[in-house]
Structure 1
Amino acid sequence: MSALGAVEVDAAAGGPLFRPLSAEDGEQRPAEIESLCMNCFRNGVTRLLLTRIPFFKEIIVSSFACDSCSWSNTEIQSAGRIQEQGVRYTLAVTSRQDMNREVVKTDCATARIPELDFEIPAFTQKGVLTTVEGIIDRAVAGLEQDQPVRRATDEEVASKIDEFIGKLKQLKELHSSFTFIVDDPSGNSFVENPHAPQKDDALVVTHYRRTPQQAAMLGLEGEEVDEKAANSAEDLRNEVLQFNTNCPECNAPANTNMKLVQIPHFKEVIIMATNCDSCGHRTNEVKSGGAIEPQGTRITLRITDPSDMTRDVLKSETCSVEIPELEFELGMGALGGKFTTLEGLLKDIGELVERNPFTLGDSSAPSKTEKLQEFLGKLREIVEGKAKAHFIMDDPAGNSYLQNVYAPEEDPELKVERYERTFEQNEDLGLNDMKTEGYEAEGAPGR
Structure 2
Amino acid sequence: MGSTKPIFRDLDPDDPEPETTEIESLCMNCHSNGITRILLTKIPFYKEIVLMSFLCNSCGYQNNEIQSGAPISEKGVRFTLHVKTSADLNRQLVKSDYASLKVVEVDFEIPSKSQKGEVTTVEGVINRSIVALEQDQIIRKVQHPETAAQIDIFIQKLQELKDVKTPFTVILEDISGNSFIENPQAPQKDPNCTNEFFKRSKEQDHELGVFTPQEMGSEQNSGILKPISEDQFILEDLEGEVLQFPTNCSNCGSPCETNMKMTNIPHFKEVVIMATTCDVCGHRSNEVKSGGGIEPTGVHIEVDINGRGDFSRDILKSETCDLKIPQLKLEVGPHALGGRFTTVEGLLVAVKEQLNDPKFSHMFGDSQNAESKTKLDEFFEKFDQILEGKTSITVVLDDPAGNSYVQSMGEEDLTLRITRYERSHEQNEELGLNDIKTENYTCN
Normalized per residue, the structure richer in helix is 1
- Structure possessing the higher relative contact order (Cα contacts under 8 Å, 6 or more residues apart): 2
TM-score (norm 2): 0.44
- Computing the radius of gyration from Cα coordinates, the structure with the larger value is 1
TM-score (norm 1): 0.44
